[in-house]
């Protein structure tokens, strides 16, 4: 069983009015998730997204990543396009052992790195045996 799972269901707390102004088409960014003694590290590829176009939220044990691509500044009409103009969106269900108050994120060269630390009570520790 995975401790961080993808959850693509609609958020019931987003009203229909709020959903109407959101883009209707999203692309799921590719991600890698790693685990170490301190917690988890999630890396997501978000080419074309600047820090100002990035939203990361944690609510009800769900991590939501939304990235709005920067608008094309060229005034020319495209004659061939391979890159999607859609925005990015992924939702993950978090392990309850993650300390959501200490989550941090960094965006560098189109790669988002989110650190998801485990709470101190969930980290492995050694127990010393008394004499």
Alpha-carbon distance of 23 to 76, in angstroms, equals 23
Q: What is the DSSP string of 110-128?
A: TEEEEEEEBPGGGS----P
pLDDT digits (tens, 9 = 90+) for 56-107: 999 999 999 999 987 777 788 888 878 777 899 999 999 999 999 999 999 9
The per-residue pLDDT for 9 is: 45
pLDDT range class, residue 45, cuts 50, 70, 90: very high
Rounded to whole angstroms, the Cα distance separating 45 from 13 reads 27
Q: Quick one: residue 18, left, alpha or beta (phi over 0 = left, psi -120 to 50 = alpha)? A: alpha
Predicted TM-score of the model (pTM): 0.72
More reliable by pLDDT, 129 or 131: 129
């Amino acid at each position: 069983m995975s401790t961080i799972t993808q959850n693509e269901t609609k958020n019931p707390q987003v009203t229909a009015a709020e959903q109407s102004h959101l883009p209707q088409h999203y692309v799921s960014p590719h991600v890698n998730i790693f685990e170490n003694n301190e917690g988890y590290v999630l890396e997501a590829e978000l080419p074309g997204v600047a820090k100002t176009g990035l939203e990361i939220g944690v609510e009800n044990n769900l991590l939501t990543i939304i990235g709005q691509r920067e608008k094309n500044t060229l005034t020319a009409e495209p004659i061939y396009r391979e890159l999607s103009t859609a925005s990015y969106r992924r939702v993950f269900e978090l392990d309850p052992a993650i300390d959501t108050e200490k989550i941090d994120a960094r965006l560098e060269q189109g790669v988002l790195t989110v650190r998801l630390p485990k709470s101190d009570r969930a980290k492995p520790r050694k127990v010393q045996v008394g004499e």
